[in-house]
Amino acid sequence: MLKKKVTVNGIPRTLIVDPKATLADVLREQLGLLGVKVGCGTGHCGACSVIVDGKLVLSCSTKMSKVADEAKITTVEGIGQPGNLHPIQLALVAAGAAQCGFCMPGFVVSTKVLLDQNPSPTREEVRAWFTRHHNVCRCNGYKPVVDAVMEAAKVLRGEMAKEELEFQMPADGRIWGSKYPRPSAIAKVTGTFDYGADAGLKLPPNTLALALVQAKVSHANILGIDTSAAEKMPGVYKVVTHKDVKGKNRITGLITFAPNKGDGWDRPILCDTKVYQYGDAIAIVCADTEANARAAAEKVRVDLEVLPAYMSAPAAMAEDAIEIHPGTPNVYFDLPIVKGQDTKPLMESAAYVVEDEFYLQRQPHLNVEPDVGFAYIDEEGRVTIHSKSIAIYLHHAMIVAGLGLEPEKLRLVQNGAGGTFGYKFSPTMEALLGVACIATGRPVFLKYDYYQHITYTGKRSPFFIKLKYGADKKGKLIAMESDWIVDHGPYSEFGDLLTLRGAQYIGAGYNIPNIRGMGHTVCTNHAWGSAFRAYGSPQAFLASECLMDELAEKMGMDPLELRYLNVYRKGDTTPTGQEPEVYSFAEMIEKLRPLYKAAKEQAKKNSTSEVKRGVGVSIGIYGCGIDGVDSSEISIELTKEGV
């Protein structure tokens, strides 16, 4: 242990620390400064930024042994607090930069150092500073942050009053269309907004820290699990395996459409007979500290018979591939699309035919806050699970039978959550927390490091698409043939729904009267497929829009004009045969046309013999809400004053 005298936010502190502990952990766990957020934990996201002796430091990757004695440390709490905001914080609130807010304390601290060093930065210098100091935001696109820095700099230079950044309620009290700040914004820019890891530090002292034993192979039969050595490790309370799970030990994939060849009960909470993907949870060590739990997890022995791993849809579709879920074919859902006449003769007689193959890869969501949650038994005897779930009732339905609980004995609560971008539409750790809480009867807390977060949460599923268009001599599409294969990883959740997106969006935006195609959902051993923003739409449009460009090139026609010719107009129908509710594309293209022409001119001017510049166009469509008729609800309250 190391004795350190430091000054934190102006207050002298004497600390006894583990020299190997990180500065972030000491600030958070020993000093309770929870404005220091830990995202990646490896010094790449900037959420943990603090100031040490005037320099910007990534505290998650700074060991206490490297912190100088008498160091002066400033965290976001030392810059401004609710009720006493620093101009930087005020400006971030005013600019609407604090969305999920997980990155905000890091941006506040980083901006403070920037403006101390350079009171009049240009926008480019601000951007370069954040790039150089690893300040990452996945929500706001950076423009609001740069706007805020420029405004804060004006205040600090005395060119603008701080009050000008404060929101002024309009005289008529109407906030619609105003810059009314997000209600949580002040908490987010001051670091006082509690995310799951912060709430986890406020759990009672008998809370058990959890660590997972995870598969290090992608496909295997489990021959045995030996927990005896792990149980003898320091601080271990219990090692939980599938034998401790009271229910079905499965998370249902909630099959959405018939005919699906699986039954949806394909994802184990804790693996029992097989490993289906890298990172699968095999056991949970429950211990007094996270370090002890993780050390013991290393001691669990899992005897495996390794099987061939099918890491892409074509591999899993091969003739000799074994069934990943025995009894269910790897291609477990087929979805035809049929519209208008048979396309074969139309393709043969079309003036122009283009065809190509496309692949859109698996994508991680890369949200800054890793997955985290906790569980306890509440005062009414309910197993209560707090997590980043963005679908608590859906997740309740997906895990309750697996846990073996009566529905009223399970309660899910959403924590303050950093952006999820869709991955938390899947249950991730909820059922694991539930199993550990039931098995121990104690509050439990589980936090993934970023490696676990990447390897054991869902991803955008890749699509393999073969696509063919036939057009008449003017460029009017007359037929489309499509074949799309969805690599959905090993678990079926929403895989059929995603495959439907291919039918809805490949070729969408254009009136294509005759279509023949087939979609397939394929089980593989790669990461399971989960929701991601615009679920299924980027995969579909990558193919159909690239092929529109290829058609334009073949015809020698401008790509924008080819689109203009084909977009929906009154009476036209979508690929799945519906009449769109609005016909906005033609008018949008008319508005866009002069800008497009100007951009093309500009690109030509800026091109050199080495660097060619161009202008790309694409249309895009996405239904709002989940499947079904678009709908919305509003609640209106008439106040006593009648407004």
The yes or no reply on residue 103 touching ligand FES (CB under 6 A) is yes
Q: Which of 410, 526, 524, 507 is nearest to 468 (CA)?
A: 507
Instruction: Read off the tokens for 98.
Output: 């604090």
- From the CA atom positions of the chain, what is the Rg in Å? 28
CB of 183 to ligand FES, least distance (A): 15
199 binds ligand FES (CB under 6 A): no
Exactly one of 138, 386, 411, 459 binds ligand FES (CB under 6 A); that residue is 138
Q: Does 137 bind ligand FES (CB under 6 A)?
A: yes
Phi, psi of 593 (to 5 degrees): -50, -50
Provide the minimum distance between the beta carbon of 122 and ligand FES in the complex, in angstroms, as a whole number: 22
Least distance to ligand FES from the beta carbon of 456, Å? 21
State which residue, 99 or 415, has the beta carbon closest to ligand FES.
99
Question: Which residues, including other chains, have CB under 8 Å from residue 595's CB and lie 6 or more apart?
Answer: none
Shortest separation between residue 241's beta carbon and ligand FES, angstroms: 36
Least separation, in Å, of the C-beta of 143 and ligand FES? 12
Structure-token match 């100007």, residue found: 598
Residue 368 in the binding site for ligand FES (CB under 6 A): yes
Tell the smallest beta-carbon distance from residue 139 to ligand FES (Å): 3
Instruction: Give CB contacts under 8 A, 24+ apart, made by 586-589.
Output: 589/560, 589/563, 589/564
User: Residue 393 half-sphere exposure, CB side, CA atoms within 13 Å?
Assistant: 0
- Stretch binding ligand FES (CB under 6 A), from 22-30, 133-141, 340-348, 387-395: 133-141
Least Å distance between CB 368 and ligand FES? Answer: 5
Long-range (24+ apart) CB contacts under 8 A made by 407-412 are: 408/382, 409/381, 409/382, 409/383, 410/382, 410/383, 410/385, 410/434, 411/378, 411/382, 411/383, 411/384, 411/385, 412/384, 412/385, 412/386, 412/387
| Residue (9 or 140) nearer to ligand FES, CB | 140
Select the span of 95-103, 149-157, 288-296, 610-618 touching ligand FES (CB under 6 A).
Answer: 95-103
* Least gap, CB of 27 to ligand FES (angstroms): 20
Minimal distance, residue 304 CB to ligand FES, in Å: 38
Residue 99 binding ligand FES, by CB under 6 A:
yes
CA distance 535 to 546: 19
Half-sphere exposure of 444 (CA within 13 A, CB side): 33
Candidate ranges 97-105, 172-180, 247-255, 264-272; the one touching ligand FES (CB under 6 A): 97-105
Region near ligand FES per CB under 6 A, out of 99-107, 284-292, 480-488, 564-572: 99-107
The residue among 189 and 512 lying less far from ligand FES, judged by its C-beta, is 189
DSSP string, 367-404: -SSPPEEEEEE-TTS-EEEEE--S-HHHHHHHHHHHHT
Q: How far is the CB of 419 from ligand FES (least distance, A)?
A: 4
Quick check: 411 and 389 in contact, CB under 8 A?
A: no
> Is the Cβ–Cβ distance between 240 and 212 less than 8 Å?
no
CB of 457 to ligand FES, least distance (A): 16
Find the helix packing angle between 104-117 and 143-156, rounded to 10°.
Answer: 40
Exposure letters 374-411 (e unless 16+ CB within 10 A, then b): bbbbeeeeebbbbbbbbbbebbbebbbbbbebeeebbb
The 292-331 contact track toward ligand FES, x by CB under 6 A, reads ----------------------------------------
Q: Which stretch binds ligand FES (CB under 6 A): 98-106, 215-223, 282-290, 565-573?
A: 98-106
- Least separation, in Å, of the C-beta of 29 and ligand FES? 23
Tell whether residue 461 is a contact of ligand FES (CB under 6 A). Answer: no
Q: Which is nearer to ligand FES, 91 or 269 (CB)?
A: 91
Angle at 387 between CA 444 and CA 232, to 5 degrees: 25
In the complex with ligand FES, the residue whose CB is nearer, 388 or 520, is: 388
Beta bridge partners of 49: 58
Name the residue nearer to ligand FES (CB basis): 95 or 282.
Answer: 95
Stretch of 94-102, 209-217, 261-269, 420-428 contacting ligand FES, by CB under 6 A: 94-102
Among the residues of 242-363, which ranges form H helices?
A: 290-297, 313-317, 343-349
7 to each of 18, 33, 70, 192, 348, how far by Cα in Å? 18, 13, 7, 21, 79
Q: Which of 62, 89, 140, 544 binds ligand FES (CB under 6 A)?
A: 140
Mapped onto helix, strand or coil, the DSSP state of residue 543 is helix
Q: Is 235 exposed, middle or buried (0-12, 13-18, 19+ CB in 10 A)?
A: middle
Burial class (CB in 10 A: 0-12, 13-18, 19+), 617: middle
Tokens 């990155």: give the residue. 103
Of 82 and 407, nearer to ligand FES (C-beta) is 82
Q: How many residues does the chain have?
A: 643
Contact call for residue 510 and ligand FES (CB under 6 A): no
Return the range that interacts with ligand FES (CB under 6 A); candidates 7-15, 135-143, 569-577, 621-629. Answer: 135-143
Helices 585-605 and 559-566 pack at an angle, to 10 degrees, of: 180
Build a one-symbol-per-residue string for 407-446: x at contacts with ligand FES by CB under 6 A, - elsewhere: -----------xx---------------------------
Nearest partner of 26 among 40, 11, 15, judged by Cα: 15
102 binds ligand FES (CB under 6 A): yes
Size of the site for ligand FES (CB under 6 A): 12
Q: Which of 101, 416, 427, 536 binds ligand FES (CB under 6 A)?
A: 101
Question: Which listed range, 100-108, 292-300, 420-428, 556-564, lies at the site for ligand FES (CB under 6 A)?
Answer: 100-108
The stretch near ligand FES (CB under 6 A) out of 96-104, 255-263, 389-397, 438-446 is 96-104
Separation between Cα atoms, residue 120 and residue 154, nearest integer Å: 8
Residue 274 contacts by C-beta under 8 Å, 6 or more apart in sequence?
A: 219, 220, 221, 222, 268
The answer to whether residue 139 forms part of the interface with ligand FES (CB under 6 A) is yes
CB under 6 A: which stretch of 120-128, 132-140, 290-298, 586-594 binds ligand FES? Answer: 132-140
For residue 45, the minimal CB distance to ligand FES (Å) is: 9
Contact between 282 and ligand FES (CB under 6 A)? no
Q: Between 100 and 444, whose beta carbon lies closer to ligand FES?
A: 100
We find the least distance from the C-beta atom of residue 369 to ligand FES, in angstroms, to be: 8
Burial of 97 per CB tally in 10 Å (0-12, 13-18, 19+): buried
Q: Is there binding between residue 335 and ligand FES (CB under 6 A)?
A: no
Q: Give the footprint of ligand FES on this chain (CB under 6 A).
A: 99-103, 137-140, 368, 418-419
